[in-house]
Structure 1
Amino acid sequence: MPVLNSLTPASKLAPDASSTGLSSLLLLCLAATWLVWGSTYLAIKYALLSFPPFLQMGTRFLFAGALLAAWMRWRGVAWPTRQQWRNALVIGGLMLGGGMGGTAFSEVSVGSGLVVAFIAVVPLMIALLNLFWGVVPRRLEAMGIVLGLGGVLMLTQGSGFQASPAGLVAIATACVCWSVGSVLSQRTLQLAEGAMGFASEMICGGVVLLLLSALHGEAFDWPPQPLAVAAWLYLVVFGSLIAFNAYMVLLARAPASLASSYTFVNPVIAMLLGVLIAGETVTPFEWGAVTVVLSGVLLLLWKPRA
């Protein structure tokens, strides 16, 4: 689950589609959000060979956040204020501590492809939470919410989640935490401007994850397997830094529908990689459930032309 749902809504940042061309930069950014984010769930699976879930995520985000903060300070950007650090702790605790921590924990017993397929319900949850702020979905959006949630119920009945109730609870908790953190960051809890805000979120989220690791009694497997180290580095560099900034570019320079397209592509990429590389099993029923979920997300994000 990318950190970037805590950004200002893309519709306020992106230009009209008619004025935006698919330059080579935008194509590279799309490739990053589609392929890199889609592959991070398999990387999490491989990192689990030596790094337990909360420790893996905590060190990943703390390291990436510290690098990004140091870079921004070198460029002369001020540190966040005390209130902004407090907001970063709440948002980072929810989105990274609960969201990404729960995601990694679920992958201990559930295939990476099924985990990311479940995560596709997040836009639907965010739309439901926005009801508390008086944002009522249009008829097409409401249909998408109902259809997507129905697809998730189908997904929970598949063999993958039926074999691991703990994994199902973990990923459901992760999606709720991520959605609540996303909405709070958009509505009430403002982070510092730009990349420094996201650096503070990653630092605070990393600290929360390390506390969860200590409370859970996780033990580090030393020496770590080379494959696990490579997967961890991939998550830090490509998942947390490169793809993260690529999405920020898309938000600023591309239509909202294009920037959000990773929502549909990531589950397919993750499931294909899980089957082809990791030997995971996805039944025809589960593929059908994923199709229903993505159809619901498509209806939710569909913007009919005037």
Structure 2
Amino acid sequence: MSPTDRRARLDGRAVVLVVVCCALWGLNQVATKLALAEIPPLMQAAMRSAGAALLVAAWARWRGIRLFEHDGTACAGLAMGLLFALEFGCIFIGLQHTAASRMVVFIYLAPFVVALGMPFVAHDERLRPAQLAGLAAAFAGVVWAFAEGLHAPTAGSRKWLGDALGVAAAVIWGLTTLTLRGSRLASAAPEKTLLWQLAVSALALAAASWAGGETLVAVPGPGALWPLAFQIVVVTFASYLVWFWLLRHYPATRLSAFTLLTPVFGLLAGVLILGEPATARLLVALAAVCAGIALVNRA
């Protein structure tokens, strides 16, 4: 596939790549939770972005990809980096006030933001009623899978604030995708798009960590460093690079529908790695998500 080639539908390669990305993002939640025992959240996010930014720069240099030429992407790149940092700021602050299970449900409103906003950016990506119904079915499956945790004890009476920040994070995530597709970054190299997002978010998250008074109690051990390395190398560098390549070549609305698989993969990772219980709700959710994605990607 040439750098400028765009497909109207997802082919087999795109489906495999986006499902692998979703599986890695679901596993990332477990890695983040393991590292949080020794590394504060905003500091961890800043370290992840900074480490992956160095890898992207080294990868681009090795492949001879020019990242710093003037091509009119600076404004969009700064916007994407700040949106990425703001999204994670909303998530981490929101988790102080609401349950993680509620937060996950609200975050995955993002595909709806993309589906509603993409017709204003790319008129050829308008979803038909059947496809919108498929998106709704997939989201209903996600809600069903996580409904068991919605009544768990939360962090106090300001649960509404955490919920609102979760919705805000979803809107920001959707806006990040729309910013990419509606700007000159849509035709830029995926490495350049990713570097903008990582470098800017690393600085913003580091500043937020410092302002919030986060510190390391002790030097992190292997139990935190290995999960952090997984986040940097596999998730933030490799999978995000693949994701931006997919967004450059395939319809963003259909790709976004697959991101609803991520919390289901996260639940599976929790069962297999953290020993969390598996329930019939997970099987129902998997069926609903698969059916919804099939509707969204119908010819």
TM-score with structure 2 length normalisation? 0.74
Asked whether the 8 Å contact 2:26–2:262 carries over to 1, the reply is: yes
Aligned counterpart, 1:128? 116
Q: Where does structure 2 lack aligned partners over 5 or more consecutive residues? A: none
Which has the larger displacement, 237-246 or 189-198?
Answer: 189-198
- Pairwise CA RMSD: 4.2
2:266 to 257, 263, 270: 270
Aligned counterpart, 1:171? 166
Spell out, residue by residue over 1:69-109, the C-alpha distance to the aligned partner (whole angstroms, 9 max, x if none). Answer: 24324525141538523321211111x21233444555677
Q: Letter of the aligned partner of 1:85 in structure 2?
A: A
**Matches of 1:266 and 1:209, distance apart in 2:** 23
Query: Does 2:10 match 1:13?
Result: no
Spell out, residue by residue over 1:177-235, the C-alpha distance to the aligned partner (whole angstroms, 9 max, x if none). Answer: 11012112211463782112211221011111122222322222322232111111110
Aligned counterpart, 1:236? 232
Distance apart, 1:28 and its partner CA:
8.3
Asked whether the 8 Å contact 1:151–1:292 carries over to 2, the reply is: yes
Equivalent positions of 1:223-262 (< 5 A) are 223-247=219-243, 262=258
SS at match of 1:190: helix
Aligned counterpart, 2:82? 93
2:201 to 196, 201, 205: 205
Q: Letter of the aligned partner of 2:223 in structure 1?
A: L
1:72 to 49, 55, 60: 60
**Matches of 2:162 and 2:32, distance apart in 1:** 15
1:142 to 132, 135, 142: 132
Distance apart, 1:288 and its partner CA:
5.3
Asked whether the 8 Å contact 2:5–2:249 carries over to 1, the reply is: no
**Matches of 1:124 and 1:259, distance apart in 2:** 12
Q: Letter of the aligned partner of 2:6 in structure 1?
A: L
Which has the larger displacement, 80-89 or 276-285?
Answer: 276-285
Spell out, residue by residue over 1:224-269, the C-alpha distance to the aligned partner (whole angstroms, 9 max, x if none). Answer: 2321111111100111122234446666899989977853543322
Q: Sequence identity, in percent?
A: 23
1:47–1:146 Cα change, 3 Å: same
Q: Where does structure 1 lack aligned partners over 5 or more consecutive residues? A: 1-9
**Matches of 1:126 and 1:16, distance apart in 2:** 16
User: How many residue pairs were aligned?
Assistant: 287
Aligned counterpart, 2:37? 49
Asked whether the 8 Å contact 1:64–1:202 carries over to 2, the reply is: yes
**Matches of 1:168 and 1:298, distance apart in 2:** 30
